[in-house]
Amino acid sequence: MQWLGRNRGEVLTDDFAVSLHKRMFGDVWDWAGMFRKTGKNIGVDPLHIPVQLRTLMDDAQYWSQNKTYPELEAAARFHHWLVQIHPFPNGNGRHSLIMADTMLERVYGARPIDWAGGYDLQKMNDRRTTYIAALKAADAANLTPLMAFCNPNGGR
């Protein structure tokens, strides 16, 4: 968070995403900030991570420059797409939440999302169940539950 406060780099770049992951998890995992090399049940083929990540960032930049989506929808789409790529072996959920909030604050000048809503999103609880169900709906191209989840007081 201190690093984020100091950092003035472009948020919507793969460099920034990698640096943030390294800063978040570098003390815990020596591979923090390095892309996944093996398949998981979530995420694209590891071979496709660099290109997919670049495509996401380019699209997200385009969305902000052309006001393609309202800020909350851009954040929901960005978060979901990033966890769907699943660039790293672990920490993707937590990383993608902070990426989306940083985009909101620094690219859109908007307030971050209250993702956890007073719960611990890492633990099993109703909020987590709603969150995962919303991501699965987004996998099936239905963004409505994730939008509800992102909205202030939404999903509760």
Footprint (CB under 6 A) of ligand ATP, residues 28-87: 42, 83-84
What is the Cα–Cα distance from 127 to 14, expressed in whole angstroms?
29
H helix and E strand count, the chain: 7, 0
Q: Report how far residue 71's alpha carbon sits from residue 105's, in angstroms, rounded to the nearest whole number.
A: 10
> Would you count residue 90 as binding Mg ion (CB under 5 A)?
yes
Residue 94 binds which one of ligand ATP, Mg ion, none, with CB within 5 to 8 A depending on kind?
Answer: ligand ATP
From ligand ATP, Mg ion, none, interface partner of 47 (C-beta below 5 to 8 A by class): none
Q: In angstroms, rounded to a whole number, what is the distance separating the alpha carbons of residues 75 and 147? A: 9
Binding positions for Mg ion, rule: CB under 5 A:
90
Binding positions for ligand ATP, rule: CB under 6 A:
42, 83-84, 90-94, 122, 132, 135-136, 139
